[in-house]
Structure 1
Amino acid sequence: MPSSTTVKHVCVTCKKNICTAICLGCNRAFCTRDFIAHREELRQNMNGIIYERDEFYQSIIDETEGTMQCSSMKEINEWKQKSINKIQQIVENNLQKLYFQTVVQKLTEELRKAGNEDSFIEIDITRWLNTINNLKTSRNNNLSRSFNDNDKDLIDFTSDIKNQTNKQRIKFGYVGEECEQIFNFTPDYDHSHLRIIELRKTTECLGFHIRGGRDEKSPIYISRIIPNSVAWAHGGLKKGDKLLFVNDKSLNNLCRDEAIQLLKQIQESVILLVQPS
């Protein structure tokens, strides 16, 4: 009767001990001691990502917007268009911060869960690093478009206009009306209810229709989920949800056609920031 032999594989690290575990992330075999060391190396990589996340989030917190008082109300009519443009920029800056904070919060929850359960592999490390790097790039691009220090008086100015009574707004004339339209058009966001939806675009589409926008004087919202589509299979996107961001691009003050064009430019995957209706 022929004797049977068992093929024993040696550890990829020490080349001596028999392997007892295989990492599904890198598909390599380790002995018990080196597998523990491998897991510790992955945890150190994860800790590095947590540090990067903390550093990025702190940079958002540290960013301050100084305030100055408007020198004279009679100057309003002389720079009304400039004021309106800057007010819109302030709104966009605040929306960008909202986007960054929401994505970082989701990343924080994912890192905490994976760390507690020790349930992460190389592909997760790569994905988390890409998220951090994309956030940094987007924020740097956003900062390069921000207004300069000489225009910070508009922050208090917009707050004054927003808080005036209807009778007092008459004194602001055209600029007051335009500013109020901007504030009324901008949705009131609730951080606790915002959702991050990640979809991978197919050759067909992302799987939803939108309505609203600047031309309809309403936020852009999801009007229909196409059955059996990517969005349908994901299940996180609902009819009536307000669509706030496509990746790091705010949809505030865009018309419907502009938003559709932005969605069409998506190549592979997309991160949507939405608010339930």
Structure 2
Amino acid sequence: MATRNKCSVCTKNAGTSICPGCQAYFCDNDFKDHRGKLINELDGLVIERNLLQEKINKTNMNKAQNNTFLSQIDEWQQTTIEKVKQVADQARKQVLEVMNSELRNITTKLEELTQELKQLTDTKDVLEQDLVKLKEDVNRLNNTVAQLTKPSTITLNVTNSAQIQWNQMIFVEQIRVQTKKQPTGQSQQESK
């Protein structure tokens, strides 16, 4: 007579079924129980998976917070662009002011010379010293105008802008919020 395998659970009945997963022998009743436990574990995993999906869905609902961050970045960008535009406009005004002030000075001197010449021409009351002075004034104005046609003495100081570390002006940091966990094996009274 052949030796029969015993049920690995009750060890009384013959093991007529073998589980391909754990390789154990079971009688009909214990095999059904074994399969039931496996199905229950599977159901438990499905429930855990569904809870995980709910957490992921709640996390996706936090996209509004992400949009807030993106809006803040957009606002920072616009503010920075506006500040750069303001500084550039100010530099343009400074250049024009320097250039125009030289022209205004020349124009003022030319008007003074024109008035003197007109007065002397009208009165015909001219002396040699007047002519010497007027020639000097004309020469001085010619030299000043000649200086204007030469390359400008204005320089733009952009050294500080080259030192700006743009990637450090705004950046993202992730802060993890840690939940306080009670150490395992410690009773509630011990933790108080």
Tell me whether the two structures share a fold, i.e. TM-score over 0.5: no
State the TM-score, normalizing by the size of structure 1. Answer: 0.27
State the TM-score, normalizing by the size of structure 2. Answer: 0.37
- Work out which structure has the larger RCO, using CA pairs closer than 8 Å and 6 or more positions apart in sequence: 1
Structure with the greater alpha carbon radius of gyration: 2
